[in-house]
Structure 1
Amino acid sequence: MPKPAHISRQIWDMKYRLKGADGHPVDKTMSDTFRRVAAALAEPEKDKALWQQRFADAMDDFNFLPAGRILAGAGSDRRVTLFNCFVMGDIPDDMSGIFEHLKEAALTMQQGGGIGYDFSTLRPKGAPVHRVGADASGPLSFMDVWDAMCRTIMSAGTRRGAMMGVMRCDHPDIEAFIEAKR
């Protein structure tokens, strides 16, 4: 294995090295991490030993490195996602649907996944909400709720959450959205 740069070892230690509940390293070396991941990746193969060695060799030589969530989670026996990012479904323009999607986002982030939502489906600020006789607060107010959730959830127990919110350019609140992003 080529000797990794100091910063590479720091990042590995902070983000990808498997540690026990007490904070002590389970993976003593980067090769240990690669072997753990290789064993998990080889699990569905008929010749597990062959593929485990191939995967480990490729990682040891830095010819191949899986995505971060795979390095952090594969073979860890933790209930985490091995996918980095998720493009989530449409948010319904009603209170129960909005908060059901917020819950879905929180659970996805808790398991280590980053999320992306399009808030264009929510009615603009000031639009009537007929059943309750009120005006809509608009998508930006709900983005604040998502933002608070993202700050609160420690993604997979080790890192802050990652979230992307977008809005169509023809949404009536697009200028307020752009201003909020500054």
Structure 2
Amino acid sequence: MQAKTLSGGFADPAIDAAHTFRAVMEAMARPGTIHNISGATPPAPLSPAAAAVLLTLCDTDTPVHLAGDANCAPLRQWLAFHTGAPLTDPSHCMFAVGAWKALQPLSSFPPGTSQYPDRSATLIVEVAELANAGAPLTGPGIKDQTTLLLPETKAFQANQKLFPRGLDFIFTCERQMAALPRTTEVR
């Protein structure tokens, strides 16, 4: 058990984190685009893409909420060892990770305030499939329109109406990732 907790991080932390950071920024800047991420091999049930995002964006000052099946001892130990990120409840997290149903209700996560919209949570949603199909997306970073397979549409429509407050989403599946920032309109 201890060996799995200590293994599974980036093989080359500086390079792997730089590549993942670039992929996250590209995904946020171009909502709906799907990016491949490699470098991390976390304990189940976390996908390699979600692990890479956590390894890149979390540290000792980044409270994380593990939801549902993600809230297990091997994952808590792995995250603590590799990032030092403190675990917290949904109302105080900066990042949350889990399956869509486990992350409900979205109202339990901080959407930021009018004065500090950057104090909102980013949800890393583990999905069974990432595809450019389904819900039409428009907004900043999208030339005309694109599509992304989403778990539902109404929650994202309601979230976008909160702008400049609101949640940001990163969808992960195996070694792929896509993002849906709060500025994106979902039809």
Q: How would you bin the TM-score normalised by the shorter chain?
A: under 0.3
Higher Cα radius of gyration:
1
Q: Greater relative contact order (Cα 8 A, min sep 6): structure 1 or 2?
A: 2
TM-score scaled by structure 2? Answer: 0.26
Structure with more of its chain in helix, by fraction: 1
